């Protein structure tokens, strides 16, 4: 474990990006063409 404090968020930096995600469970489509961006902070 570190004793340094966490840094401040970097604003618009995208840390997770999903583009056109589809998820099927057998014949059931749970997600269709999902897009998601998660920014730091």
The structural domains of the chain, with segments of one domain joined by +, span 12-41
Supply the pLDDT for residue 7: 63
18 CB-side CA count, 13 A = 11
Beta-strand pair 28-39/14-25: antiparallel
Give me the pLDDT at residue 10, please: 60
Dist. CA 10–CA 38, nearest whole Å: 12
In DSSP terms, 36 is beta-bridged to: 18
pTM of the model: 0.59
Residues in the chain, how many? 41
For residues 15-37, average pLDDT: 98
Q: Look at residue 23 and tell me whether its pLDDT is greater than 90.
A: yes
Q: State the pLDDT confidence band at 36, using cuts at 50, 70 and 90.
A: very high
């Amino acid at each position: 474990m570190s004793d340094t404090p966490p840094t401040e968020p970097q604003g618009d930096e995208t840390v997770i990006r999903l583009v056109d995600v589809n998820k099927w469970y057998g014949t059931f489509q749970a997600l269709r063409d999902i897009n998601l961006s998660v920014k730091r902070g």
